[in-house]
Amino acid sequence: MASKENIDLLRVPRHVAIIMDGNGRWAKKKGNQRIFGHRYGVAAVKETIEAAAEIGIGYVTLYAFSTENWNRPKTEVDALMALLVSTLGNELDTLIKNNVRLMAIGDIDSLPGIVGRNLQQSIAKTSMNTGLVLVLALSYSGRWELTRSVKQIALDIANGVISPNDIDEKFISSRLQTSSIPDPELLIRTSGEYRVSNFLLWQIAYSEFYFTDTLWPDFRKEHLFDAVYDYQQRERRFGKTSEQIS
């Protein structure tokens, strides 16, 4: 397993996105309810953020709750929302102390009132921080984001604000919720699943993927270092040949 010393600090990915999968299976193995796994997953989040800050990663986006997750049993959804509120409250001082700025993407208006209020307060209280940016994807999906963007662009065309000729890849990126941050160079998914689950579909066009069998509650600093070390062994060509980039 890689350690911090194995990492080339001059070539760390600027932005790492993570699909935190396996909480439910972890809890089931322990003979507990799924929410038990979600609670223990908070420790993995803390270790991951600490590790990312240690090696100079600028942005970490966590897929915390998808639009599809609303279809889970109400008891689990309610418990997840309560966990989010308590975690934001418990960790806010730590975020401020460690100079972490909090952001959120997704359909925030669909969150319960107390969740949305606590989230916005935490975002506001960390807005002046200049260190690592922690992005929570809540009530988010890539298709939802793209649909929202297309509707906004169509409305602007209909109102004569823009012309279809104004639209290119850069323009579309500017209309996404991630417009103020770079696209992720590295996407990590835990628990042994090999899919992107409707996450950052536009933004991960040239991301490197890293899959691990580790269930999210067991994910620790060394696992992030492993992923970054693996990333650094790859050749990123962006459609070019090896000779062109050498």
Catalytic residue numbers?
21, 69
The residues with which 211 forms a beta bridge, in sequence order, are: 189
Distance (Å, whole) CA 77 – CA 71:
8
Distance (Å, whole) CA 206 – CA 235:
12
**What pairing do the DSSP bridges indicate for beta strands 133-140 and 59-66?**
parallel
Distance (Å, whole) CA 135 – CA 72:
23
SS3 3: coil
Distance (Å, whole) CA 208 – CA 231:
7
Distance (Å, whole) CA 204 – CA 217:
24
Phi-psi region of 47 (alpha: psi -120 to 50; beta: other; left: phi over 0): alpha
Question: ∠ CA(137), CA(142), CA(146), 5° rounding?
Answer: 120
SS3 17: strand
CA 67 to chain centre: 14
